[in-house]
Amino acid sequence: MTNQTTENPRGPQQGDGIRTVTSGSFSELVLEGDGPVVVEFMSYGCAYCRVIEPVLQQVAEIVKSEERIFRVNVAVERELAGSYDIQSTPTLVMFLNGREVGRVEGPNPTVASVLTAMTQAFGS
């Protein structure tokens, strides 16, 4: 049985603007999705992922009407992370209409740098 949502007490907070996807929901939500989608491949054991989390939450609030942001926990979804050749966390992978159009590993944890990384990939 696939656990659709695996969270950690240090993970997402109430009002989380970033949904967790699994191998069971990835195709429907990301690959079959219309428009721009950002997927954060992360791990709750990753200190840098915890540092960037509040920044990603702010970015999710800013872009919520234009782009969807999801997260994949690589510790749980190893096969999915492997299929996208994720070498380090956090890695942001940008998809447009289901096709990968860009990625950035460990962006600087500022709202401006994350927004720039995302919007450049979408040609905005």
- Active-site positions read 46, 49
Burial (0-12, 13-18, 19+ Cβ within 10 Å), 1 = exposed
97 Ramachandran zone, left/alpha/beta (phi>0; psi -120 to 50): left
Q: Measure the CA dihedral 83/118/30/42, to 10°.
A: 50
Cβ–Cβ under 8 Å, residues 33 and 68 = yes
Residue 46's CB is within 10 A of a number of other CB atoms, namely: 17
3-class DSSP assignment, residue 73: strand
